[in-house]
Structure 1
């Protein structure tokens, strides 16, 4: 039983939400004391690959996601900072062949809550109003911003202890980040490194204990701004590590994922903006998953 769980555990530990972290402009300079509320819809289609000895074939996932987000910009220790919160509700269906016979299952409910706290260490001073506008006007030709942050994923999502597939993870994920943006004229170049650290899940599938090694990821983006509020970005990311252990037995399921994506953002007013994103995930291992995701979001600032 432990051997079987060890092979299947990547379905739980390498969730689509984690694998699809490819977000441009996360270190952008924001005016002080502003709030942003967003809503998004996403659709994900994935092909899941198992070891042939498990007799699981042609496994597919269709996932619909609706989410809300909140961002607040503020000053701390004389630096500009921001707080992000994200919550989504998901409807997913897995289907495929088990021993040659059709099988399927579905889950509907809330995913885990994501919180992020970040600070710009170099550049992007805490400004608002006319001071912010004047500063941005002087930095359009050349600017470098360095930021640090931490993401915490709370175990608030829908979780069933007697099921292997879940929307929630039943554990905390802590992800420190370090990022840099260098802008020249209309072009911006972004690089972000992250370390995913996981607490243990002591209620994993019928009382087993799941542990997971840290996962390292690196992503980069190139952004072109046509005018303020209208931009396009393309990005690449790579993640490796994150081997799982169940009751002390290693799963030999190291993650080795490559992602690429593109985003288009545009504003219709100073307060209202929209963003369209496509993300593709490819596994470089024999077991894992390939996925395609389309996201559409809107945000309101005040």
Structure 2
């Protein structure tokens, strides 16, 4: 099996289901890929700690312990002559949550289906559409692309509770990113903004609004060997002030996260990935820890 084919498999292991808690620390989102490839992924994620920096509900001192499985599907295809990728994911989660809402303690244990996320990646530089046969003959090069991720409010939501699995609102996340290889190393950079609609059913009738969250991330990746790599990940994000019925309830200070990802191709069709990341600063929380393990299967 060629190094290029192994690179395809490990690059497309789908972990974006973790992004609610890790602020999208997602390496190799903008590498070149052959068209006509399908990927199915399954993962298990565990996170605990203060996730105040990216809440789906307007509470203070929000601490969550969440675990559960998720599944994802992706397909690469040609768009305007360049390589593109579509992916979709959804999961099931169980959580124990504690928070302070309007000066009162709130706790809840609950399980449910998560919101569904879809994303379109379009590489507009350095990634002409190629079949697998054409792709394996090409060396790695600089790729620049953009993406749009949309989260639909399909998750479990009960307006009698502050803490829920689903957010009961949409979000749209445009992003631009690049992948820069140099020898056995690769540097990934991206910038994004997460823009959310309002939740008009917060505890029945309250209106919850949130300003956009801006995110800058980087990944330093080392190819250990054919089909095997490790990445040091970091990001900086800010914004996301929240309002309930027009009254500001939280002011999100800037925060940092750091983590590590390890990925290995088992053969030409199967691969596994492990990740861990943690908040580095605690300006307004952000000391949550995320662990995940994932498996992916590729076919033409």
TM range (shorter): 0.7 to 0.9
Larger radius of gyration: 1
Between stretches 180-189 and 252-261, larger displacement belongs to: 252-261
The alpha-carbon deviation at position 16 of structure 1 amounts to 7.3
Q: 2:119 aligns with which of 111, 116, 124?
A: 116
The alpha-carbon deviation at position 31 of structure 1 amounts to 1.4
Partner of 1:294: 291
Partner of 1:235: 233
> Unaligned stretches of 5+ in structure 1?
1-14, 50-55
User: Within 5 A, what are the aligned runs for 1:52-91?
Assistant: 60-91=63-94
Distance between the aligned counterparts of 1:244 and 1:105, measured in 2? Answer: 22
1:238–1:58 Cα change, 3 Å? closer
User: What TM-score comes out, normalization by structure 2 length?
Assistant: 0.85
Q: What per-residue deviation string (whole Å, max 9, x for no partner) do you get for residues 98-134 of structure 1?
A: 9xxx974211001111100010010021111221100
User: Within 5 A, what are the aligned runs for 1:1-302?
Assistant: 17-47=20-50, 60-95=63-98, 104-135=107-138, 139-140=139-140, 143-285=141-283, 287-302=284-299
CA contact (8 A) 2:116 2:155 kept: yes
Q: What per-residue deviation string (whole Å, max 9, x for no partner) do you get for residues 15-61 of structure 1?
A: 97154320101112221110000000011111467xxxxxx999742
CA contact (8 A) 1:27 1:181 kept: yes
- The runs of at least 4 aligned residues of structure 1 exceeding 3 Å deviation read 56-60, 95-98
Tell me how many residue pairs correspond in the alignment.
Answer: 275
> Unaligned stretches of 5+ in structure 2?
1-17, 53-58
The alpha-carbon deviation at position 277 of structure 1 amounts to 0.3
1:262–1:31 Cα change, 3 Å? same
Distance between the aligned counterparts of 2:254 and 2:60, measured in 1? Answer: 21
Distance between the aligned counterparts of 2:60 and 2:116, measured in 1? Answer: 32
1:182–1:107 Cα change, 3 Å? same
1:47–1:251 Cα change, 3 Å? closer
Distance between the aligned counterparts of 2:49 and 2:252, measured in 1? Answer: 19
